[in-house]
A = this chain, B = another copy of it.
Amino acid sequence: MPADALSATFSALADPTRRAILARLARGEAGVTDLAAPFEMSLPAVTKHLKVLERAGLIRRGRRAQWRPCGLTPAPLREVADWVEPYRRLWEARLDRLEAFLAEQQEQVQQETPAAGGAARHKEKPHGR
């Protein structure tokens, strides 16, 4: 079990079923039976996933007489968003470089390809640029 809160959150999110449960709860509270239905899973299996999510603080379980609905608590997801945000500049910079590279490649191709009219080697600027 990870010791720090963010590690516990990431660990809880490292499972597609648990992420699907969160996606369902983002639309509103649900009981264990409702949550189990789309996954063709036994109730104990779903309950185990819910316990992991609950320990990570990603869901809370209410107590209303016979019904114990699960609800999403978004605070840990905010921590995830805050953690990943500083890395955004890295993939954006990479996309910028990729775009510049592709534009350059395209320009080169257009320069090297003989035009339909036969004006090859005549360095034309591509249209609309």
| Interface residues, chain A, with chain B CB atoms under 8 Å away | 2, 4, 6-8, 10-11, 13-16, 19, 22, 26, 72, 74-75, 77-78, 80-81, 83-88, 90-91, 94
Complex Cα gap A6–B94 (Å): 20
Q: Is the interface of A mostly helix, strand, loop or mixed?
A: helix
What are 27 A-B contacts with C-beta separation under 8 Å?
A2-B14, A4-B16, A6-B16, A6-B19, A7-B13, A10-B10, A10-B11, A10-B13, A10-B14, A11-B11, A11-B14, A14-B14, A22-B87, A26-B87, A26-B90, A72-B90, A74-B91, A74-B94, A77-B84, A77-B90, A78-B88, A80-B80, A80-B84, A81-B81, A81-B85, A81-B87, A81-B88
How distant is A9 from chain B, measured CB to nearest CB, in Å? Answer: 8
The complex is assembled from copies of this chain, and their number is 2
Task: Give 3 closest A-B pairs by Cβ, nearest first.
Answer: A10-B14, A11-B14, A74-B91
Complex Cα gap A123–B10 (Å): 49
Give the chain B neighbours of A11 by CB distance below 8 A: 10-11, 14
